[in-house]
Structures are given as structure tokens and as C-alpha cells.
Chains A and B, each alone.
Chain A
Amino acid sequence: MENLEHILSEHPFLQGLHEDYLRLVTGCASNVRFEPGQYLFREDEEANWFYIIRQGKVAVEAYGAERGSVIIDTVEQGEVLGWSWLIPPYNWHFDARAIELTRAIALDGKCLRKKCEDDHHLGYELLKRFAHIMEQRLEATRIRLLDIYGNEK
């Protein structure tokens, strides 16, 4: 557990978090590993986890009968995957599949939600961090909507 706390404290996502809060977060954390092709989660399943990717690459996919699975984003080493655990009704909106052998720290959303309800300062600290990730992903998505590699008028 001490090792996990150390790893989490060094990750940019949790940098600057008070050590008491870091201990609370670590209490909801576990080491996980996914083989290539293994799903971390599937669309519509209950979203009770998020992941800090330590190694490997995960494809976020949407499935359609005509097109099959389309990769809409990849989440890689050092990045955070999943925020549906934060937002009711706590269901995943996409599939997440390991493209490579992926090692991650899984954080139990149910456990964290309870701790955040008990201590709103912890909740605010985590929300600020997730808001930053959401802002980055939204910006990247908007830039992608511009189709920036084409010169079409």
C-alpha cells in the first residue's frame, strides 16, 4: 500500500494533493494488468472504476453494426482513463480495450464517491483534477472536429 501511495503521489494527476487525502485515495486503489485485447470496461456496464495508466495503451471504442468497432481515442502511459464513475447514472459510454499489455492503478469509484461525500474538500480536489482532464479532451475533440489535416474551404 505504501508503494501504491508513493506511485500515486508522483503522478501528475494527484500532484499537490494533501497527504491525508492521498492516503484516502490510496485506500481505494489497486494494481491491475490487462492483456492485449482484454476489455477494461464495456459500454453500458456500471462505471465503478477509473484507471491511471502506468504502461501500455488503451483504445476507447464505439461499436456500430455497420462499421464494427471504431477507435475514437487512445489513452496511454501517464494518462487517466474514465470519468463516468463520477457522473450519474455511473455507466460507461464507450468500450475500453487494451491494445498492448497494460499496467494500471485502478481506483474504486464507489469507494471514492463515498469518501468524497464524507469530505467535500476531497471531492472538490478530485473534481478540479477531472475538470482539467475533461477540458483537455474536449479541446482535442474540438480541434479534431476542425479536420485540421485538410485544406478544404
Chain B
Amino acid sequence: MTNPVPNPMLPAPYVVQRVLRETHDTFTLELSPKTTMNGFRFSPGQFNMLYVFGVGEVPISISGDPSKTKTLIHTTRTVGTVTKAMYKLKRGYVLGVRGPYGTQWPIGEAVGNDVVVVAGGIGLAPLRPAVYQLLAQREKFGKIVILYGTRTPADILFRKELERWRSRFDLDVHITVDRAMSGWKGSVGVVTTLVPKAPFDPLNTTALVCGPELMMRYTVTELQKRGLQASDIYISMERNMKCGIGLCGHCQWGTEFICKDGPVFPFSEIKSLFAKREL
């Protein structure tokens, strides 16, 4: 008798270990499995469906280190009913987890290249596992550049970690905000203005881009102006994901299902969809 195939629609119980406030509207949730001792394996860029019982289920990017399988980490904004309820959870509360789902950032394909990571706002969360993985095998890549833009200094996500990364000699980290008060020593301007100045070789670079669609659109334009090919640029899309396995059709985007064919796409594959207003 063979083992039954696990039901992809059945959430596994996970226990809240910690809810960490990151900024005024973002938080990080640390979970551990309630029943199994097996670790949770995922690839950078993938997401889980998190279910707050009695409230609802939402797709949330995994923001932790893929090599640390004992704890499952997600970071999100408090924007809707479910994430607002999630933010109020206390240690010991059980919620449901389905996943991991979706495609991953192309870390393997980027070996030998410079890598430029461009994040806008909460878009840094799904990119953080990719940065962990890049740093874990730092010698395999050329330059690694992180460009991060957000509204104000108070909105900077993972601030301490960014400071740690910036202090490394083998990593270029550039942060810019839309507006700041006089005490701010960093850059002010939109994240796209960092692209022309960033130290990478455009003929030998893989770009990982994540943020709201408008931010990604203008970033891709700047990367292409620098000389990157569409096939060297990867973006992470977001739509109304429900089932997570490409069945329900809620996240259908032209011929693609974001939950199954994405969320990470090479820009070359979806550039015709990206320009369509009707989708």
C-alpha cells in the first residue's frame, strides 16, 4: 500500500513563536510546526498560504533564511482583515500553513554573474531569502548590489540587517527614501535613480526585482537602459492568490497562473502581459 498523497488544500498547524513589529504597518511572524519535527524547506521567492482560523487565508511571502528549516518566517503589511488579525496573534496561537508554492529566484542561474537586488517597500521581504542564499555562497557570484527604496526612514524594513549587510566589504547596499527630515544622512530620491549609479556589469548581471508593479515597471526600464536583457531581469508578481496550485483561477494573468507559474518570472516571459492594461 502506498502512502496517500498529501492534500495540498489541507493546512498544517503551526504555532506562533513571535510577532515582531518591523515598521508602523509591517510585521514579521515566526512560526514553528505543531505536529511534525521535520523542518520546513522552501526556495527563495516562494510563498505560503497562511490561515487565521475563523478569519481567512492569505498568501504571504516567506522572508526567512532557507537554510534554517526549524522556524518559518513571514513578513507582511497589515492591509486587510486577515493580516490585521494576524498581527494581533500572541505566542502559542495556532494557525494553518499550506505551501510552499510558486517559483523561485534564479540563484543557481546567476552563478558567475553580478547580482543586483532591487526592492521597493515591503518587496524586500520576498527578496531577503535570496540575499541569505547569495551570501551563503558569496564566492560563487561577482558583485552583489542591493538597492532599496521606501517612503521614509521610518518605513525601512529589516533596518538592522540592512545595516549589517552594508558594513560588509563584499556587498554594496544603497538605500533611498522619498522624503526625510534634516537629520537623515542617506539618499533621498526614488529607487530607480540608484540604478544608473550602481556598480555592476550590465553585460554580466542578473537582476532580482520586487515591489509594487509601478516600482517594478520603472525599475525594469532603468535596468534595460543600463543594458540588461529582459531575460536577465526577474520580477515577482502579485495577484489574488487563493488555491496556490493553479486550479481556482483567481490569480490568472493572461496565460499564466501567478501562484503556480510565478510569482517569480523572467521579465522576457511576461513583458507582453506586463504592458497590458486589461489584465
B-contacting residues of A (Cβ < 8 Å)?
Answer: 57, 59, 61, 67-74, 76, 78, 97, 99-100, 140, 143-144, 146-151
A150 touches B212 (CB 8 A): yes
- What is the interface size of chain B, counting residues whose CB is below 8 A from a CB of the partner? 30
Q: Which of B190-224 contact A (CB under 8 A)?
A: 190-193, 197, 211-212, 214-215, 218
Bound-state CA distance A18–B61 (Å) is 54
Among the 9-residue stretches B30-38, B125-133, B148-156, the one with 4 or more Cβ atoms under 8 Å from chain A is B148-156
Q: Can you identify 26 A-B contacts, CB atoms within 8 angstroms?
A: A59-B182, A59-B188, A68-B181, A69-B182, A70-B180, A71-B182, A71-B188, A100-B185, A140-B189, A140-B190, A140-B192, A143-B192, A144-B189, A144-B190, A147-B178, A148-B120, A148-B191, A148-B212, A148-B214, A149-B120, A149-B122, A149-B149, A149-B150, A149-B211, A150-B212, A151-B212
Q: Which of these, B186, B193, B211, contacts A148 with CB under 8 Å?
A: B211
A148 touches B197 (CB 8 A): no
When distances are taken between beta carbons in the complex, the residues of chain B under 8 Å from A144 are: 178, 189-190
B197 touches A76 (CB 8 A): yes
When distances are taken between beta carbons in the complex, the residues of chain A under 8 Å from B212 are: 148-151
From B155, which residue of chain A is reached at the shortest CB distance? Answer: A149
A-contacting residues of B (Cβ < 8 Å)?
Answer: 79, 120-122, 149-151, 155, 176, 178-182, 184-193, 197, 211-212, 214-215, 218
Nearest CB on A from B204, distance (A): 22
A146 touches B185 (CB 8 A): no
A57 touches B218 (CB 8 A): no
Bound-state CA distance A142–B197 (Å) is 20
Bound-state CA distance A118–B190 (Å) is 39
When distances are taken between beta carbons in the complex, the residues of chain B under 8 Å from A72 are: 179, 188
Q: Which of these, A97, A100, A143, contacts B190 with CB under 8 Å?
A: A143
